[in-house]
Chains A and B, each alone.
Chain A
């Protein structure tokens, strides 16, 4: 009898207790996406683009409210792990949930105008974006390397499809394929990194890895070092840090503009959340091994992002290089490997999310039907045609440049302070210099908007190397507009490619009301919290204090 009981008891599977509150925003986002898909296929008549947008906004708001409820719980009960230690339920996690929920909300608003203009039916855009957002949330909450991997894949696979979303544009499919091949490659590298880390520490649980490493002194363990290196390469690809950034300009240029904004905000939030949690909380004991690598990634991203952006004639490509520059800044906070660094990085991610989604919303509006007009010349005279739109874009660009009285300034200040507080003077100096260089191309775009349509040359164009833009002559968009004539090499083609009469005739581009709401929100956030910085900085600070260690 006893043996019978013993054999019967042996295969019992212990199902872990699931604390649903700890994953509620993720569940709402994913469940909302599935429900929207189902309802849209059942009631095709009623579910037009607007109804889908309303549904996505409601789901995002619900996820945001759930995240705030979580915040209340974490603030009173402190950080904990749930679901058999696979999910971290702490302030850091809630911060990412809030960031991603708001990003999804804004993306749904921007997407509404885009989908109507392009005449794309069906809820797939929103469904994929919501699934992708739930992946980013999972990365923020993951306390186990394999959960990080699952979150990464949920995030990425949906994004591959979103990149290909505009099937009328050949660039869109090309962008998706490039993103897919390099994304799949980086995921495989990342996975091998997990395997090696597992082999070296005997676990994939982040807290247990930290415990193992603090109990055992490992000096130059090849397997662990290999694992760390591969994990960093995988993250480097995902956040587009130099030298793993090659895909990002092409993907940003080819993807639909609202998707590019979503990609920049959400994919970076998710990947940086996991990067911060893994390296700062699990591998602090071996930081002498990984800090130099992150230092180099940060340095290269800061320099290359700012310098190459100067040569870009396509505003979306310019934004891609500018986002590489921003990655360098956020890596500054990672490299510091302190609570201050984490808090500064979180603040940077949160504020950058508003700036980049707002910027891409404006780019999407200006790009017009077909999402093609994103050359620098297309922005000439925008201030005269549409002063409000131009003003909003100028504020967002100044925010990205880090002008005072915007959140961008405080974000840059925060990460530089964090770097200085650990004696990282060299990197901090490079960061400040690169911010100054980056300010140049943001201001050039702003100045272009205020220059008259007929003027020959951008106001600041004199400083550009002549060879830079020749590649643009080969793109179909540029040859279209080259007045039927041969594309001219050199400055002429850049500055006078768009015949002024055509731009004049185009007149103001219509700004969809919901996009206006989204852009207004982004601008208002960036200015108001740039002047009254307290609440958001406190939020990031509290989130870091409540970080599970």
Chain B
């Protein structure tokens, strides 16, 4: 018995939605990062599913590019968090309110 591609797409949509809601709702910066990662991986799952249904290897190759980009993004993001954390011991997005207007 095989699972039809529609289910994978459904899962990918659900993951993407969870990630989106997480970024918008959660206030801890690290959890926001994790939600962005979830969104990227939802896209990966969609790529692989489409590659399977289209019988096209291209979609699977794209996933590798995305993985590399996601890794690079996290490196920079955590670097920025550490830099801010040194200044004040908090990783809460609501504490960042120096600028308004």
Residues of A participating in the B interface, judged by any CB pair closer than 8 Å: 146, 149-150, 153, 157, 160-161, 164, 167, 170-171, 173-178, 180-181, 184-185, 187-189, 191-192, 194-196, 198-199, 202-204, 249-250, 253-254, 311-314, 317, 469, 471-472, 474-476
CB pair B87–A188 under 8 Å, yes or no, is: no
CB pair B76–A192 under 8 Å, yes or no, is: no
Q: Could you write out 23 A-B pairs with CB less than 8 Å apart?
A: A157-B76, A174-B84, A174-B98, A185-B36, A187-B40, A188-B39, A188-B40, A188-B43, A191-B39, A191-B66, A192-B16, A195-B12, A195-B50, A198-B58, A199-B49, A199-B50, A203-B58, A204-B58, A249-B99, A254-B98, A317-B101, A472-B100, A475-B100
CB pair B43–A192 under 8 Å, yes or no, is: yes
Given the interface pairs A195-B46, A202-B54, the reply to whether A475 lies near B99 with Cβ below 8 Å is yes
Any chain A CB within 8 A of the CB of B7?
Answer: no
CB pair A194–B43 under 8 Å, yes or no, is: yes
CB pair B76–A180 under 8 Å, yes or no, is: yes
Given the interface pairs A185-B39, A312-B101, the reply to whether A178 lies near B96 with Cβ below 8 Å is yes
Residues of chain B lying within 8 A (CB to CB) of residue A189: 20, 39
B11 to chain A, nearest CB (A): 13
A177 CA / B77 CA spacing, docked (Å) = 7
CB pair B62–A146 under 8 Å, yes or no, is: yes
Given the interface pairs A174-B98, A199-B46, the reply to whether A192 lies near B39 with Cβ below 8 Å is yes
A184 to chain B, nearest CB (A): 4
Tell me what chain B mostly uses at the interface: helix, strand, loop, or mixed: helix
A192 CA / B49 CA spacing, docked (Å) = 13
CB pair B84–A173 under 8 Å, yes or no, is: yes
CB pair A170–B73 under 8 Å, yes or no, is: no
A171 CA / B97 CA spacing, docked (Å) = 9
Binary flags per residue of B26-58, CB closer than 8 Å to A gives 1, else 0:
000100110010011011001101100110101
CB pair B46–A149 under 8 Å, yes or no, is: no
CB pair B87–A170 under 8 Å, yes or no, is: yes
CB pair B65–A157 under 8 Å, yes or no, is: no
A20 CA / B101 CA spacing, docked (Å) = 47
Tally chain B residues at the interface, Cβ within 8 Å. Answer: 43
Of residues B16, B49, B59, B69, which shows the largest number of chain A Cβ atoms within 10 Å of its Cβ? Answer: B69
B27 to chain A, nearest CB (A): 11
| Nearest A residue to B9, CB-CB | A199
Of residues A174, A175, A469, A476, which shows the largest number of chain B Cβ atoms within 10 Å of its Cβ? Answer: A174
Any chain A CB within 8 A of the CB of B93?
Answer: yes
Within the complex, which residue of A150, A173, A180 is in contact with B65, where a contact is CB–CB below 8 Å?
A150
Given the interface pairs A164-B80, A188-B39, the reply to whether A249 lies near B69 with Cβ below 8 Å is no
CB pair B96–A191 under 8 Å, yes or no, is: no
| Nearest A residue to B79, CB-CB | A161
A146 CA / B50 CA spacing, docked (Å) = 15
Within the complex, which residue of A187, A199, A469, A476 is in contact with B98, where a contact is CB–CB below 8 Å?
A476
Any chain A CB within 8 A of the CB of B14?
Answer: no
CB pair A160–B58 under 8 Å, yes or no, is: no
A254 CA / B12 CA spacing, docked (Å) = 36
Within the complex, which residue of A180, A181, A472, A476 is in contact with B101, where a contact is CB–CB below 8 Å?
A472
| Nearest A residue to B95, CB-CB | A174
